[in-house]
Chain A
């Protein structure tokens, strides 16, 4: 029974008793990634391989034809693909910047300020952690139309900035900053905005990075606003366009499958790259992400 000493949390070296974990985890990890690898291969298959029967898993002679077809199909609608891409990049950047600034300010107030009603407000935000947007999609629709955001580019931005979980993650992190540091700065005459930008933000980088990634993941491929509120073709998002192509092509025509896969891949790769680069910051943030 000496192995109990051997298998411990976060081990630094390999131990025989770990084998069982690998036996379970590795096949499962492969199962999880397999569909993604499949789509990657599908995106690079030339037309004749897409038609192959029985279908193959790996692309034998990879080409970028599917991507070319995708871009060519796009221009036939009259709106160039670059326009959708420009829209989405602009939307993503603005949403990320506004979300980060507004969320950090709010989390700072919840963490370090005292005022009447603070606990009530924070409790409301905690309850809203379980807010499911699709549950109230219909009343949201009325609100958005009523305030004049229908067919307005701002509809891509404004509804997605207040996200309760962002406030929660940031507040948990700002709570770690000792009050003394902030008091000392205040005694020296620093304003709140100075404290926010010179002390809080530099010390909260990991949580900010996490919020940035989560915001990116939900904004980059977003289709809801284009689907429901935007009628003007030139104001729609890249995700919406690729989604339309992907859905009209998968399962209907074999040739379209490759194009749909290419579209899906374009939406996915930036997410993956950003997450890999930032993953240690995310894990650091998650350490503090407990609800007490």
Chain B
């Protein structure tokens, strides 16, 4: 069967195959080198002991066993903090961005565009801007804006070293992450709601739904499941990519008393500061698995089944 197809291939089809190959090649090549191979390498290195001087020595699952039995910093701080942060900023930020998108869709175009821009703006300011803004606002002496505000209102008596304080750093990191989380996913959800079919809503009211909550539950969300899923994946990526915020606000890795020590910071700590590459790679694999679990949940919730 395949033989006859191959024989009957015309010059036209051959040229077609060649064009397809040429067009696909650059992306596949770059994707392999900079995305696929690093992931594969992480998995390989995670099963070795490697200090960058000697060649990697295979040691099976020792790194993983150490992570979950020996690494007290990981067990006491990194794991719970990462989970707490990712649950608040991930699903929390996601629900927030859906609610905001939904409210925006109910107002007129002019004000909507301006407010949407205001909400989106923090997500495009970039890492440099984020650390400059928040380090200035939360500056630890009395010239710090927030300190002087709180002192002016007699809430506090002396300035607080917010960014060096284990009690406050985590809260600040969460606020900053949420602040900058209305990104591409938020825009997609807004567009998804706006693109909704008016007749569906009218029909639903005829069918007997009678309040906004039911409208969202039975019309809006089912209608825009694809955008909901895209938004969820984007929320996931931005949540885990924003792990640097604690380090860039406090200026140290590890963060003061591991207050905002997330898995990404722990990886940098072992990889770039201690050169325990095998161990760092094992931590990367744990992180990738966490992301995978979160995305599986998102797909379970929103993917349309064929």
Contact = CB atoms under 8 A, between A and B. Distances in A.
A96 interface: no
Contact of B129 (A55, A135, A264): A264
A8 B201 contact: yes
A214 B238 CA distance: 14
A106 B45 contact: no
A80 interface: no
A140 B291 contact: no
Interface string A228-272: 000000000001001100110011001001001101100110011
Contacts of B291: 130, 132, 135
A260 B133 CA distance: 9
B284 A138 contact: yes
A139 B281 contact: yes
Nearest to A258: B136
Given A25-B107, A139-B45, A192-B20, 18 more contacts: A24-B103, A33-B121, A55-B145, A102-B26, A106-B24, A135-B284, A136-B38, A138-B42, A161-B26, A162-B34, A243-B128, A247-B251, A263-B132, A267-B129, A271-B126, A283-B190, A290-B226, A290-B227
Interface in B247-278: 248, 251, 264, 267-268, 271-272, 277
Interface stretch (A9-17, A66-74, A86-94, A173-181): A9-17
Given A35-B134, A106-B24, A264-B132, A291 B38 contact: no
B35 interface: yes
A240 B258 CA distance: 26
A35 B179 contact: yes
Contact of A260 (B16, B33, B136, B144): B136
Interface stretch (B57-65, B66-74, B109-117, B166-174): B109-117
Interface of B: 16-17, 19-20, 23-24, 26-28, 30-31, 33-39, 41-42, 45, 100, 103-109, 111, 113-115, 117-122, 124-129, 131-137, 139-140, 142-145, 148, 151-152, 163, 179, 182, 184, 187-188, 190-196, 198, 201, 205, 210-212, 224-227, 229-230, 233-234, 236-237, 240-241, 243-244, 248, 251, 264, 267-268, 271-272, 277, 280-281, 284, 287-288, 291-292, 295, 302-304
A35 B133 contact: yes
A246 B251 CA distance: 12
Interface of A: 1, 4, 7-14, 18, 21-22, 24-26, 28-30, 32-33, 35-36, 38-39, 42, 51, 53-55, 57, 102-103, 105-106, 108-109, 113, 115, 121, 124-125, 128-143, 147, 158-159, 161-162, 164-165, 167, 191-193, 196, 214, 217, 220-221, 223, 239, 242-243, 246-247, 250-251, 254, 257, 260-261, 263-264, 267-268, 271-272, 275-276, 279, 282-284, 286-287, 289-292
